[in-house]
Amino acid sequence: MTTLYRPELLYVDGTFVAGGELLVSADGLVLECGDKVDRAGVAVVEMPGKALMPGFVNAHSHSFQRLIRGKAESRVASGRDFWSWRGTMYHAASKLDPHQVYDVARMAFLEMVLAGTTTVGEFHYLHNAPDGRAYDDPNLLGKQVIRAASSVGIRIVLLRTAYIRAGFELAPDAGQMRFYESRKAFVENMAALVKDAFVGGGRVHFGVAPHSVRAVPLGELREIAAWARANRLPVHMHVAEQVAENAACVREYGSTPVDLLAAEKILGPDFTAVHGVHVTAEEIAMLARAEATVCSCPTTERNLGDGFVRADEMLAVGIRLALGSDSQAQIDPLEDARELEYHLRLSQQKRAILDHVGGQTLATNLFDSATVNGARALAISAGKLAPGEFADFITVDLGDLSIAGNSAEDLLSTLVFSMSRSAIRDVVVGGQFILRDQRHEYREEIVDRYKELHEAVWRDAAARR
Ligand SMILES: [Zn+2]
């Protein structure tokens, strides 16, 4: 049935308006959004004391990495750099059976929903059985992740990942046996998965994710990118997260990853460079010219000691910034959004650095990175409330401790810099409530199953030490 939502404040075209209304069709699309909505014969949902706004879009997630939370914060367990941290992550990846892949994905997605996320872009590279052989259905684990998203109710863009080798002049790595596929197998499996889009009631979408220039050699990368474009799927890739990755690319190809991707015309409006931390001003200009998105994962980038994205220089030349929770060290879209600004403040010893850069206010720049820019990167009609878009939205309690004492004029800044997840009341995906007054149907079951899985995975690890 067509439904009319009547919150106290509604986010429309970049501002909160009092008395705004949102009309949603029976099939979960926005019909009208504003203050003069035709309301004949519709169900009305009154939402006093709440503000309604687009749900957050998490453009880069590895759901299984939720398992290493708290396990990689000591030098003894996980070393001191990204590459030793990766060993802990590979350990978790090596253990999981298909049921456990489902359980950990549900846990990560549940937490995302409770944090106001309505879409996740899942960069999925766990394909094979632990011994490195393909399952009878080579898409078994990808389908488990999709099933997990469908069970939780979150919209998913499965960014199926091509992972072909350990790196330039490197022998295959025992920790990566579950990731490897040939270029041919990748394309066949990806095509089969898209064709089999069997679950999800219209909430399942796809993209193509060559892991990195390290893991996908150029010849294969060209073919995979061409295949993605022929099939109108977005392309996501880890780019310039680590200095060592850039250096290896220079050794192999004589140019840095961004330079190489630009020269090969792999950059484009459908391309998202995940991280984009170690880039020069010239490379920022290349990304801008190509109209590529940069997806920053600020919580992960600071957790791993990667460095931070130069958001000021990127916004100034029109690059759209999206956000991802990546390693799941913490799942909080607005925390990621504010880090874009805070990292710059600490390094430049100034304030309000992203205010009116690229023509928008600071709060709008940060909010867009958590919503509409992620949706664009994932090629879905979401992240804003306008006719024809998915009705993916959240409500927040205007009396919550973290934001109480707000006005329509300052609410966006208050949310972006101060809101905690306790304020999030409802989460709606495709017109359906998946969180209603902070209750999720499967919360207890998901957490209980996750606790069992966590104990099993780390009990085995302890026994081996
Ligand atoms: Zn990643």
**C-alpha of residue 304 to centroid of ligand 1, in Å:** 12
**C-alpha of residue 61 to centroid of ligand 1, in Å:** 7
**C-alpha of residue 297 to centroid of ligand 1, in Å:** 8
137 is catalytic: no
Quote the pLDDT of residue 37: 77
Tokens of 81: 């750099």
356 is catalytic: no
Say yes or no to pLDDT of 323 above 90.
Answer: yes
Tokens of 130: 């632990």
Say yes or no to pLDDT of 465 above 60.
Answer: no
Q: Which residue has the tokens 């052989």?
A: 133
Quote the pLDDT of residue 76: 74
Quote the pLDDT of residue 435: 98
Distance from C-alpha of 276 to C-alpha of 23, rounded to nearest angstrom: 38
Q: Which residue has the tokens 């004949």?
A: 40
Distance from C-alpha of 53 to C-alpha of 266, rounded to nearest angstrom: 34
**C-alpha of residue 62 to centroid of ligand 1, in Å:** 6
3-state SS, one letter per residue, for 187-207: HHHHHHHHHCCCCCCCCEEEE
Return the closest-CA partner of residue 288 out of 269, 261, 308: 269
Quote the pLDDT of residue 432: 97
**C-alpha of residue 209 to centroid of ligand 1, in Å:** 10
Return the closest-CA partner of residue 152 out of 447, 374, 397: 447
Burial status of residue 444 (CB atoms within 10 A of its CB: 0-12, 13-18, 19 or more): exposed
Burial status of residue 107 (CB atoms within 10 A of its CB: 0-12, 13-18, 19 or more): buried
Cβ atoms within 10 Å of 71's Cβ, excluding its own? 17
Rg of the chain (C-alpha set): 21
**C-alpha of residue 177 to centroid of ligand 1, in Å:** 18
Q: Compute the average pLDDT of residues 87-115.
A: 93
**C-alpha of residue 300 to centroid of ligand 1, in Å:** 9
Tokens of 330: 């913490």
81 Rama sector, left if φ>0, alpha if ψ -120 to 50, beta otherwise: beta
Contact 82, 242 (CB under 8 A): yes
Which member of 127, 205, 211, 275 is catalytic? 275
Quote the pLDDT of residue 105: 98
**C-alpha of residue 108 to centroid of ligand 1, in Å:** 15
Q: Compute the average pLDDT of residues 89-111.
A: 93
**C-alpha of residue 403 to centroid of ligand 1, in Å:** 32
3-state SS, one letter per residue, for the chain: CCEEEEEEEEEECCEEEECCEEEECCCCEEEEEECCCCCCCCEEEEEEEEEEEECEEEEEECHHHHHHCCCCCCHHHHCCCHHHHHHHHHHHHHHCCHHHHHHHHHHHHHHHHHCCEEEEEEEECCCCCCCCCCCCCCCHHHHHHHHHHHHHCCEEEEEEEECCCCCCCCCCCHHHCCCCCCHHHHHHHHHHHHHCCCCCCCCEEEEEEECCCCCCCHHHHHHHHHHHHHCCCCEEEEECCCHHHHHHHHHHHCCCHHHHHHHCCCCCCCEEEEECCCCCHHHHHHHHHCCCEEEECHHHHHHCCCCCCCHHHHHHCCCEEEECCECCCCCCHHHHHHHHHHHHHHHHCCCCCCCCECCECHHHHHHHHHCHHHHHHCCCCCCCCCCCCECCEEEEECCCCCCCCCCCCCHHHHHHHHCCHHHEEEEEECCEEEEECCECCCHHHHHHHHHHHHHHHHHHHHHHC
Quote the pLDDT of residue 324: 98
Return the closest-CA partner of residue 70 out of 317, 328, 306: 328
Confidence of residue 81 (pLDDT cuts 50, 70, 90): confident
**C-alpha of residue 237 to centroid of ligand 1, in Å:** 8
Confidence of residue 217 (pLDDT cuts 50, 70, 90): very high
Residue at 26: amino acid letter:
A
Distance from C-alpha of 309 to C-alpha of 312, rounded to nearest angstrom: 9
**C-alpha of residue 134 to centroid of ligand 1, in Å:** 22
Quote the pLDDT of residue 325: 98
Return the closest-CA partner of residue 382 out of 88, 154, 219, 187: 154
In Å, how far are 12, 20, 25, 44, 138 from 40, measured between CA atoms? 22, 16, 13, 10, 50
Cβ atoms within 10 Å of 455's Cβ, excluding its own? 10
- Among 108-122, 194-208, 414-428, which stretch is predicted with the lowest mean pLDDT? 194-208
Quote the pLDDT of residue 370: 98
**C-alpha of residue 261 to centroid of ligand 1, in Å:** 18
Cβ atoms within 10 Å of 268's Cβ, excluding its own? 15
pLDDT in tens, 261-288: 999 999 999 999 999 999 999 999 999 9
Distance from C-alpha of 63 to C-alpha of 156, rounded to nearest angstrom: 12
Which member of 103, 270, 326, 336 is catalytic? 326
pLDDT in tens, 125-182: 999 999 999 999 999 999 999 999 999 999 999 999 999 999 999 999 999 999 999 9
**C-alpha of residue 285 to centroid of ligand 1, in Å:** 23
Confidence of residue 464 (pLDDT cuts 50, 70, 90): low
Confidence of residue 84 (pLDDT cuts 50, 70, 90): confident
Confidence of residue 49 (pLDDT cuts 50, 70, 90): very high
Quote the pLDDT of residue 198: 56
**C-alpha of residue 9 to centroid of ligand 1, in Å:** 35
Confidence of residue 201 (pLDDT cuts 50, 70, 90): low
Distance from C-alpha of 190 to C-alpha of 182, rounded to nearest angstrom: 12
- Among 19-23, 198-202, 360-364, which stretch is predicted with the lowest mean pLDDT? 198-202
